[in-house]
Amino acid sequence: MCGIFGYVGTKNNASDLVLEGLRILEYRGYDSWGIAQLVDGVISVTKKAGRIPDGDISFKATTIALGHTRWATHGEVTDQNAHPHLDCTQKLAIIHNGIIENYDKIKVNLKKAGHKFLSETDTEVAIHLIEKNIKAGNPFREAVRSAFNEFAGLNAIIVMDAASKTFVAAKTGSPLVVGRGKGKENLIASDAPALINYTDTFHFVEDGELLEITQDSIRAFDQKTGQEKNLHWQKVDWKFASNDKGKYPHFMLKEIHEQPTIIETIVNQSIPSIEDLAETILKSYGTYLVACGTAAYAALAGTYLFSKIARRHVNYAVGSEFGYQLDFLKKGSLVIALSQSGETIDVIDAIKKAKEKGALVYALVNVLGSTLYRMADYKILLMAGAEKAVASTKAFTAKLAYLILLSYILSSQKEKGKRVLQKALSSTNRLLQNEISNIKQIAQKLVNKKHIYVIGRGLAYPIALEAALKIKEVSYIHAEGMASGELKHGPIALVEKGTPCIAFLPDDETHGANLAGAMEMSARGADIIGISFQPHEIFDYFIRVDDAREATIIPETVAAQLLAYYLAIEKGFDPDKPRNLAKSVVVK
Ligand code: M6R
């Protein structure tokens, strides 16, 4: 949600650089965009509802500019509500991520003092309050600090001052990262990959920190006291990061195709950290998996893997529910948080609460330097590389691969775990080589369907849920995943002639019972799309997924991702940017 990019330096095409940065950040999801630039001492703003248009936008020469992609919270999606917002003097510009919960009270006072508001946003309140503080005699940095201390809620702001050509940034939530460019230039963004062309050295801004950024320096201060602090510079290895789609038309397809390489990387590189996690699990009083959305389905799959392979019980909760289930957490409990972005607010909140209870927090996270990465006591990086499509694909299968290995390591069968993942690799490669035209044809047959049901049992149950979520997210077809044993408890009432039903039928102990579920659907007229190791007479369509023991869930997922992707293409939607969705859900 809300991409942020700011440049101050000596290059005189700062607005173009900011536009390019915002384009890289488009994957975060947004509904409007805007850029503030300083030209001849005056701030001018270009902002619009909708997507950033293709091609060049003509900007005047400037060496300082600040941009934002907005995901609306307060106020509709309009040009006026898009960021940046200016103060009455037009000497200050602000961009903001988060919600200023007490904005209404502050706004009443500012209006009484004569400030003119042009938008319905909470953000605009902030810039007028800063203006008021400056008029009261405070220097710019102090004016921002004192205003920010008045805001309730979790927020990140960056303010540009025309007079001093300075940015001041402050945050209590939402990610911000600063980078030192080459020579006299500095940058700030919501995500490190947006700065990939400028630097590999970053400071990830901490909550409660205030930054002052000019072309010459970056300084950090304590937000509450104003005391200067040290910055913690970190080098980032960009080996797996890339901001372009390569030969693929969409990031989603590119990321689907990257999965074999990622699984191979995990098998070959990450064992010591997983062994460490396994030891921690064995020592803990209880283990809890917590995550949201797709990551939560990986966590759910983890409960099956732990039970089946490692014979261990783990608890599981989606982030937003975890707070209602943590009364029995104590010192010695272990919480494993799974997240692609490491910024999902419900996961961050959950681990804050877990830490208050004395639990140890392990993160399985894809983004280095993210909030979760920094907050966790221990972390394993997923090594899936930057995931740009809003719909999570490769981060999900990377999580599955780690959980499979972890389960095998817990049962002292590390080598077997690796062999099982190798099988998943072969099966996924075969699928990507041989099944795509088949999957495209199935997508053509399903394109006009209003509902799709997805069934699975055991390990395939979380995969059925994930398959349905992927279809919903990118094709906007209503899809419902369920345990096939639940069919008779209600959902089968909805089946009529031609209702599509995707059935995951791996070669495991669930096969017979799951097939029975598919038969019940078929007997009532459903069209069965069997995702299985072998064809069956009840299948109307068949996607072959070779067996890889418990890791069959990886190629099964890839089959479902491809089907979702081609359904989106058939319907003419952009699978990388589904409507209403943001890549990182950083507000409640
Ligand atoms: O970044 P996270 O893994 O924490 O994100 C969690 C969910 O918001 C995310 O998986 C979401 O469900 C995706 N849109 C799924 O494709």
pLDDT confidence bin for 242, thresholds 50/70/90: low
Of 289, 292, 469, 583, the one to substitute when testing ligand 1's pocket (max ligand atoms within 8 A of C-beta) is 292
- Regarding the beta carbon of 557 and ligand 1, being less than 6 Å apart is answered no
- Regarding the beta carbon of 174 and ligand 1, being less than 6 Å apart is answered no
Contact call for residues 128 and 119 (beta carbons, < 8 A): no
For residue 4, give the amino acid letter: I
- Regarding the beta carbon of 360 and ligand 1, being less than 6 Å apart is answered no
Structure letter (DSSP) for residue 164: T
What confidence tens digit (pLDDT) does each residue in 285-300 have? Answer: 999 999 999 999 999 9
> What residue's CA is closest to ligand 1, atom 10?
294
- Regarding the beta carbon of 471 and ligand 1, being less than 6 Å apart is answered no
* Cα angle value 224/227/230 (rounded, 5°): 110
Contact call for residues 35 and 18 (beta carbons, < 8 A): yes
Bridge partners (DSSP) listed for residue 241: none
> What residue's CA is closest to ligand 1, atom 9?
293
What pLDDT is recorded for position 579? 86
Q: Residue 548: is its pLDDT beyond 80?
A: yes
pLDDT confidence bin for 325, thresholds 50/70/90: confident
Marked catalytic residue, from 2, 107, 171, 292: 2
Distances (CA, A) of 25 to 1, 63, 120, 580: 9, 21, 24, 16
Which residues, in sequence order, are CB contacts of 180 under 8 Å at separation 6+? 186, 199, 201, 218, 233
Q: How far is the CA of 342 from the centre of ligand 1 (A)?
A: 10
Q: How far is the CA of 198 from the centre of ligand 1 (A)?
A: 28
What pLDDT is recorded for position 39? 93
Q: How far is the CA of 583 from the centre of ligand 1 (A)?
A: 7
Contact call for residues 177 and 231 (beta carbons, < 8 A): no
What pLDDT is recorded for position 362? 95
What pLDDT is recorded for position 1? 63
What confidence tens digit (pLDDT) does each residue in 184-237 have? Answer: 999 999 988 788 889 888 898 988 999 999 999 999 999 999 999 999 887 776
Other CB atoms within 10 A of residue 197 CB? 13
What end-to-end distance do the CA atoms of the chain give, in Å?
Answer: 11
Other CB atoms within 10 A of residue 260 CB? 21
Number of DSSP helices (H) and strands (E) in the chain, helices first: 17, 25
pLDDT confidence bin for 239, thresholds 50/70/90: low
The span from the CA of 168 to the CA of 86, in Å, is 15
Average pLDDT of the residues in 565-585: 90
What pLDDT is recorded for position 492? 87
Q: Which of 401, 511, 528 is nearest to 457 (CA)?
A: 511
- Regarding the beta carbon of 344 and ligand 1, being less than 6 Å apart is answered yes
Structure tokens that stand for 342 in this block: 């490491």
Catalytic residue flag (residue 2): yes
Which has more confidence, 196 or 180?
A: 180
Q: How far is the CA of 539 from the centre of ligand 1 (A)?
A: 32
Checking DSSP bridges between strand 201-204 and strand 177-180, what pairing results, if any?
antiparallel
Q: How far is the CA of 316 from the centre of ligand 1 (A)?
A: 16
Q: How far is the CA of 568 from the centre of ligand 1 (A)?
A: 18
What confidence tens digit (pLDDT) does each residue in 356-382 have? Answer: 999 999 999 998 878 898 889 998 989
Q: Residue 54: is its pLDDT beyond 90?
A: no
Checking DSSP bridges between strand 228-229 and strand 218-222, what pairing results, if any?
antiparallel
The span from the CA of 295 to the CA of 468, in Å, is 14
What pLDDT is recorded for position 237? 63
For the chain, domain boundaries: 3-235
Q: How far is the CA of 405 from the centre of ligand 1 (A)?
A: 22
What pLDDT is recorded for position 337? 97
Query: pTM for this one?
Result: 0.77
Average pLDDT of the residues in 508-526: 93
Q: What fold does the segment set 3-235 form as a domain?
A: Glutamine Phosphoribosylpyrophosphate, subunit 1, domain 1 (3.60.20)
What confidence tens digit (pLDDT) does each residue in 347-362 have? Answer: 999 999 999 999 999 9
Q: Residue 240: is its pLDDT beyond 60?
A: no
Which residues, in sequence order, are CB contacts of 528 under 8 Å at separation 6+? 501, 503, 518, 521, 522, 538, 539, 540, 541
Atom of ligand 1 nearest to the CA of 341: 1
Which residues, in sequence order, are CB contacts of 76 under 8 Å at separation 6+? 120
Q: Which DSSP string corresponds to 187-210? A: EEESSGGGGTTT-SEEEEPPTTEE
**Average pLDDT value for the chain:** 93
Average pLDDT of the residues in 502-531: 95
Q: Residue 270: is its pLDDT beyond 70?
A: no
> What residue's CA is closest to ligand 1, atom 11?
293
Bridge partners (DSSP) listed for residue 133: none
Q: Residue 581: is its pLDDT beyond 90?
A: no
Percent of the chain with pLDDT over 90: 78
Atom of ligand 1 nearest to the CA of 393: 16
- Regarding the beta carbon of 347 and ligand 1, being less than 6 Å apart is answered yes
Of 320, 341, 366, 466, the one to substitute when testing ligand 1's pocket (max ligand atoms within 8 A of C-beta) is 341
Catalytic residue flag (residue 182): no
- Regarding the beta carbon of 391 and ligand 1, being less than 6 Å apart is answered yes
What pLDDT is recorded for position 238? 58
- Regarding the beta carbon of 552 and ligand 1, being less than 6 Å apart is answered no
Which stretch of 153-162, 383-392, 575-584 has the lowest confidence by average pLDDT? 575-584
Label residues 517-541 b or e (16+ Cβ within 10 Å = b): bbbbbbebebbbbbbbbeeeeebeb
Average pLDDT of the residues in 49-53: 91
What pLDDT is recorded for position 57? 86
The span from the CA of 562 to the CA of 283, in Å, is 40
Residues in the chain: 588
Edge-to-edge strand order for the sheet containing 527-532?
478-483, 451-456, 500-505, 527-532, 541-544
What pLDDT is recorded for position 144? 98
Q: Residue 55: is its pLDDT beyond 90?
A: no
φ/ψ bin of 396: left (φ > 0), alpha (ψ from -120 to 50), beta (otherwise) = alpha
Structure tokens that stand for 484 in this block: 């096939």
What confidence tens digit (pLDDT) does each residue in 92-114 have? Answer: 999 998 889 999 999 999 999 99
What pLDDT is recorded for position 413? 95
